Structures are given as C-alpha cells and as structure tokens.
Amino acid sequence: MRSWHARGRRSRFGVGRRAGAAVALAAALLGVASCTGTAAPPAAVAAPATTGAPPAATVTATGSPSTAPAAVPDVLRFTGTTLGGAAFDAAQLAGKPVVLWFWAPWCATCASQAWTVAEIEPRYRDTVPIIGVAGLGEQRAMKEFVTEFDLGGTPQIDDRKGALWKRFRVTEQSIFVIIDRNGRVVHQGFLDGEALTARVAALAGA
C-alpha cells in the first residue's frame, strides 16, 4: 500500500497552524479510505499451481488476506486408511514433493530401507512427506514391522487389498514413487538408503 503525503499550501492570508493540521488530517483519512475498499484494488495474480510457490494471498472484501489452497493433481487424488485406523487423504499433500514407499512386511530389502526412512522422515516431514503403502501381507505383520523399525511417526497406509499398488502399477516391493511439487512422477523404482536420502534432500532444496 502506498502512503500518500498531503502537500499543504500556505495561504497568503496566513492560515494558522491549527487549520493546516486539520487539512493534513483530512487528507490522511482520505488516503486510508482509498486502501480499505473504496478504490478498486488491482487484480490479484495467482501463482500457478505447478510452481510449488506458496499460494498467492488475495484480499477479501473486508481487507483481510486469505490463502487459496493448492490445486490437487490427479496423482494425489486418492484416499485410504492408515494402519492405525485413521482416514488418509492424499489431497492434503498438494503443492509439495511426495515420496510413496511401497513395502511388504516380510521383505528383507524393505527392512534394510526402513532404517533410512525412519531416520530421514522426521527431518523432511514438512517439506517432502514420505508415505508408506503397506501391502502383500497381514495387518498384524505390517504393524509389527512398523514397531520394529520405529516407523510410528511416518504415515503408513494399509493397502492389503492392493488398490494403491494397482493404481500406481507397482508389481514388486520395495518400490519408491517420487512425485514432484508439480504432480509429476519423477521416479518409480528401487532406491537404496543413500540414493533415497540424496533424492529427498534435493527435493527439499528445490
């Protein structure tokens, strides 16, 4: 908002200081009124949903800022239930890079990757969420796997029926599906702990 400074004129007839102050006050009030809705504001330019930048703030009729939610790409239009029984909606991840980890409880490779996931997930939770998708096993075994590898803080979707595995065309474990902030799948396949860490760090800094 630009601040306007009233330029008072001196009266050649010697207007007193009190009258000059009144004129300045009236001009200041007119300036404030023009910023609170009496003048048409410039059209807001919304940031493209694919840029990953924070959604553009707009101004409501009352003058208070509001934030538009990020557009949800098709790849994140799915829901599920976590191993803990909570509802999960992937739409909440829109606008962020996301890592989906497809694992099975009896998989030795998944077990070796679990330590890396448990280590880096808390560090990047707010910037690059890692979401486990457990399948090809019994729920009890899945829960034991989560407990054994300290994965309780990482969202783990119970996909015993394989709905998400089919949706992402995952045919074996362990597979990482990495989605960038624009909703594009930029990797689908195996990653060891070192490669996973490097990928997540790069996405967090992008």
Angle made by CA atoms 116, 122, 127, in degrees to the nearest 5: 105
Please answer whether residues 137 and 106 qualify as being in contact, where contact means their C-beta atoms are separated by less than 8 angstroms: yes
92 and 22 both lie in a single domain = no
Residue 29 is assigned to a structural domain of this protein: yes
- How high is the pLDDT of residue 70? 81
Supply the pLDDT for residue 34. 34
Tokens of 129: 């969420």
> CA separation (Å) from 65 to 1, 32, 57, 70, 150?
13, 17, 6, 16, 41
CA 18, CA 199: separation in Å to the nearest integer?
Answer: 68
Residue 82: DSSP 8-state: B
8 Å CB contact between 203 and 128: yes
Q: Is the Cβ–Cβ distance between 175 and 192 less than 8 Å? A: no
Range of the domain at 105: 74-205
Q: pTM for this structure?
A: 0.67
Tell whether 41 is covered by a domain: yes
Q: Which secondary structure element, helix H or strand E, spans residue 103, and what is its range?
A: strand 98-103
Tokens matching residue 133 = 């998708």
pLDDT at 90 over 80: yes
- The answer to whether position 26 is within a domain reads yes
Using the 3D structure, point to which of 51, 67, 83 is the last residue of a domain: 67
How does pLDDT run across 7-50, given as a tens digit for each residue?
Answer: 343 333 333 444 343 334 334 333 333 333 333 333 333 333 33
Residue whose tokens read 């990928």:
199
Q: Tokens in use for 3?
A: 């601040």
| 94 and 34 inside one domain | no
Q: What's residue 68's pLDDT?
A: 62
* Count of domains forming the chain: 2
* Whether residues 187 and 112 fall in one domain: yes
Residues 41 and 93 in one domain: no
In the chain, the percentage of residues whose pLDDT exceeds 90 is 65
Tell me, yes or no, whether 139 and 56 share the same domain.
no
Claim to verify: residue 88 and residue 188 sit in the same structural domain? yes
The residue count of the chain comes to 206
Query: Is there a domain that residue 7 lies in?
Result: no
Exposed/middle/buried for residue 113 (C-beta within 10 Å: 0-12, 13-18, 19+): buried
